[in-house]
Amino acid sequence: MAVNVMLADDHSLVREGLKSLLELEGDIKVIAEAVDGADCLSKLETVSPDVLLLDINMPVMNGLDVLKKLKDNRSNVKVLVLTVHNEIEYLMKAVDIGIDGYVLKDSESSELKKAIFTIAEGETYIQPSLIPQLNSKRIEKDKDGAKIDNLTRRELEVLKLLAVGKYNKEIAEELDISERTVKNHVSNIFKKIDVTDRTQAAVFAIRNNLIEIF
């Protein structure tokens, strides 16, 4: 029995190429296509693919937001992210949300089909070339988690405000504390998360999803 697949990508040529490639041997059938994230969610209300091939960069709603919506709504559809993004941060975010698979668009067709069949059978598939980076990033994240746990509630508040670009005076006013107290908190934060300046502290906060970047 063929695996039913839905394609979500804003480039029509990509969708056409994928459809032709996947249906070539008859073991995969493309039953629906979506041109953006919102269109994808809308069509999933009326179709039930075994696997959703999801691009990250799409208008209206990006792939990671679509994935989060599906997981929040307890959708049963298996999601395979097919993307040009080889930056490990995207993969980490997808894994944290609950991805079923992640493959780069420059992979071989045999690898893409293997990922689809693996996911359809209920297993997870991450492109093998990305796994060493993923494991390294997980170790780094575990270390960051320990550093975050070591921050006091107030230090965490100060770090978040610092990370969005607020100066000590602005932080003091928002938290109703003195600038001297803020300065002491910043110094303690730097020591606890092992950074030397505000930029590094902001990067730490962004990397660990302590603040949202729009």
pLDDT in tens, 123-174: 999 999 888 888 887 787 778 889 999 999 999 999 999 999 999 999 999 9
Stated length of the chain: 214
The pLDDT of 109-128, averaged and rounded, is 94
Query: Mind listing the domains of the chain with CATH numbers?
Result: 3-134 (3.40.50.2300), 150-207 (1.10.10.10)
How many of the other CB atoms lie within 10 Å of CB of 160? 15
At residue 90, the pLDDT reads: 86
Is the CB of residue 126 less than 8 Å from the CB of residue 102? yes
The pLDDT of 99-113, averaged and rounded, is 93
At residue 19, the pLDDT reads: 95
At residue 136, the pLDDT reads: 81
- Judge whether residue 214 has pLDDT over 60: no
pLDDT band at residue 96 using 50, 70 and 90 as cut-offs:
confident
Terminal-residue alpha carbon distance, the chain? 43
Read off the pTM.
0.68
The strands making up 101-104's β-sheet, listed across from edge to edge, are 28-34, 3-8, 51-54, 78-83, 101-104, 125-126
- Judge whether residue 45 has pLDDT over 70: yes
pLDDT tens digits, residue range 168-206?
999 999 999 999 999 999 999 999 999 999 999 998 998
At residue 75, the pLDDT reads: 87
DSSP secondary structure letter of residue 106: T
pLDDT band at residue 213 using 50, 70 and 90 as cut-offs:
low
The pLDDT of 105-110, averaged and rounded, is 90
